[in-house]
Amino acid sequence: MELAKCIYPFIKTSPEKTRPARLFATKVQELLKIGENWKPVVGLEVHAQISAKSKLFSGAGTSFGSPINSAVSFFDAAIPGTLPVLNKRCVEAGITTALALSCKINEVSHFDRKHYFYADLPAGYQITQQRKPLAVDGILHFNVFTPGIHKQPYPKHSKIKQLQLEQDSGRSLHDEETKRSLIDLNRAGLPLMELVFEPDLEDGEEAAALVKELCAILLRLGTCSCKMEEGAFRVDANVSVNRPGEPLGVRTEIKNIGSVRAVAAAVNFEIERQVLMLEDGLEVVNETRSWNTDTNKTVSMRDKEVKQDYRFMPEPNLPPLRVHLDSNLENKYNLIDVPFLKEQLPELPEESRRNLVEKYAIPRELVLVIVNEPTLLEIFSKVLNDRPNRSALVIAKVLVNSFLEVMNKNKINLDNCPITPEQFGEAIDLLETRKINLLVLKLVFEELLANPQSSPEKIVAERNWYQIVDEEELTKICQKILEENADAARKYKLGKKQIFNFFKKAIVKSTDQRADMKKAVEILKKLLQ
Ligand code: ADP
Ligand code: MG
């Protein structure tokens, strides 16, 4: 009680938006000792749009950003008399995903109608899989590691209750000017896989880590683009808290969280909100909430207390979906061959990580970053494949440090990174042959962003960015700096050792960052003796 009261005003008066949600989260978590007095429970539901050219039950296209209502078949608009035709690619993608997540595939699954009344659902029901989904009982292993919060990565897993195929609904657009609501049916009927996870997680960081790993797997399988900003990957988070040893608490559901960062922030906020309410003697109500990215808070959307009756019933226009679990069966015609799909599974991200650590002795922190970002992994693999004698460790370090830093600074989305693996490889060679140093390497990346047609060799030659390695030349540079700063040099010799950094900076500056700093430092030390 006491504690809650002293934190409430803190929440209310905290400047919204300016405070990073994560810092805020850990601060309150500390104050409330959530781990000791309260046990948070988090379970995720993920809607992943299956990468397929056409919709789940119709031939309409699926590309994002098509003109409004242009990718709509008669079936998607629920014109009477139209019938669903199941898209084989979607079933295969669902099975492939289920296999990668160690699910048990149901030999026979069923489609059901889930009824609700909303303008963006023209048929008045969604076709989904309720009674018998495509697959059940899977598991997802992942590592949780948020620098600044965790000292080192720790392993975690979440069981998967089921994986089902279902249709997406349309989209309502609310026009403020004309005060009208308009419907875009392009999304109606898009193929989705819904993955329902067991309530196995404990905080926002774990939820975000699960989402990241799931995305890495789906991207590897090619079954989902995982573009959250396009709505192709949507996360609902169920959150409850209870006192240790007591039964699970009442849960709320945060719908459609739009980014990995928001998953962590929304879950942490919701845990704290519930703890504060309970500490204050209030009750958590079972409701649906949404995450507001402007205020960094969850807000109530509608309460679920009256359980909605979806009137589930079998979909009469689709026969049971039967797949082949046994590769020796004859008469496979037109059936989904599960053992074949299993053989086709690519190397999964965790396997890649293990390989990178074992084969190249790259530190795991670097590997985690590289494997989680398909563009980085692609560059890494290509650059190394092109010339296997390049140092894997140097490539990895440059990718994660210099390269990523320049990309982030310039707000480049790595999916559209203009720097090619060939250009990156050439830059690495310049670094490894000591023609340039790490500082200049970053300038080269900057220059390539501005001028993608150019090449690292050309840039370095044109601007004379070659590293100064010549002993004599470096000595002259150092001597000059010491002469110009004779006073500082004297102080250094009298014991003010911090001044050394000042000299280093002066060398970097006077050589336009081109000096071989390792050598320069040696020379400088000698001169100062
Ligand atoms: P329903 O049938 O009401 O949809 P489910 O059992 O299917 O409920 O669970 C839906 C989601 O809610 C799952 O992702 C599950 O992990 C999560 N969940 C269930 N109970 C809790 C709880 N007490 N706290 C947090 N999450 C929960
Ligand atoms: Mg459910």
- Compute φ and ψ for 362, nearest 5 degrees: -90, 135
pLDDT tens digits along 60-107: 999 998 999 999 999 999 999 999 999 999 999 999 999 999 999 999
Mean pLDDT of the chain: 89
pLDDT given at position 151? 78
Number of the ligand closest to the Cα of 166: 2
Higher pLDDT, 267 or 329: 267
Question: Which ligand places an atom closest to the C-alpha of 304?
Answer: 1
Which protein residue has the closest C-alpha to ligand 1 atom 20? 199
The confidence score (pLDDT) of residue 29 equals 63
Q: What is the pLDDT of residue 330?
A: 64
304 C-alpha to ligand 1 centroid (Å): 13
Confidence of residue 175 (pLDDT cuts 50, 70, 90): confident
Residue 257, pLDDT above cutoff 50: yes
Query: What does the DSSP assignment read for 170-228?
Result: -EEEEETTTTEEEEE-TTTT-EEEEEEE-S-B-SHHHHHHHHHHHHHHHHHHTS----G
Distance from the CA of 196 to the center of ligand 2, in angstroms? 7
**Ligand 1 pocket: which of 140, 201, 238, 308 to mutate (most atoms <8 Å of CB)?**
238
Query: Position of tokens 């994986």?
Result: 163
The C-alpha atoms of residue 447 and residue 401 are separated, in whole angstroms, by 17
C-beta of residue 88 within 8 angstroms of C-beta of residue 323 = no
Residue 431 has pLDDT above 70, yes or no: yes
Centroid of ligand 2 to alpha carbon of 503 (angstroms): 64
Ligand 1 atom closest to residue 199's alpha carbon, by position in its atom list? 16
- What distance in angstroms lies between residue 406's CA and the mean position of ligand 1's atoms? 42
Q: Which of 196, 200, 210, 255 to mutate to test the pocket of ligand 1 (most atoms within 8 A of CB)?
A: 196
Residues with CB under 6 A from ligand 1: 41-45, 196-199, 238-240, 248, 251
Instruction: Name the residue with the closest Cα to ligand 1, atom 6.
Output: 198
| CA-242 nearest atom, ligand 1 | 23
Q: In this model, does residue 27 exceed pLDDT 70?
A: no
CA angle 159, 91, 49 (to 5 degrees): 70
Best residue among 251, 255, 285 to mutate for probing ligand 1's pocket (most ligand atoms within 8 Å of CB) is: 251
Average pLDDT over residues 24-38: 66
Q: Is the pLDDT of residue 18 over 60?
A: no
Whole-number Å distance between alpha carbons of 188 and 304: 24
Q: Which atom of ligand 1 is nearest to the CA of 253?
A: 12
Confidence of residue 55 (pLDDT cuts 50, 70, 90): very high
Residue 161 CA to ligand 2 center (angstroms) comes to 10
Taking the domains of the chain in order of start, what are their residue ranges?
Answer: 349-463, 471-528
pLDDT recorded at residue 36: 77
CA of 260 to the centre of ligand 2 (A): 21
Q: What is the Å distance from ligand 1's center to 289 Cα? A: 15
- Ligand 1 mean position to 198 CA, how many Å? 7
Cα(130) to ligand 2 centroid in Å equals: 9
Whether the pLDDT of residue 4 is over 60: the answer is: no
Determine which of 31-45, 130-144, 288-302 has the lowest per-residue pLDDT on average. 31-45
Q: Kindly report the pTM of this predicted structure.
A: 0.80
What number of CA atoms fall less than 13 Å from residue 59's CA on the CB side? Answer: 2
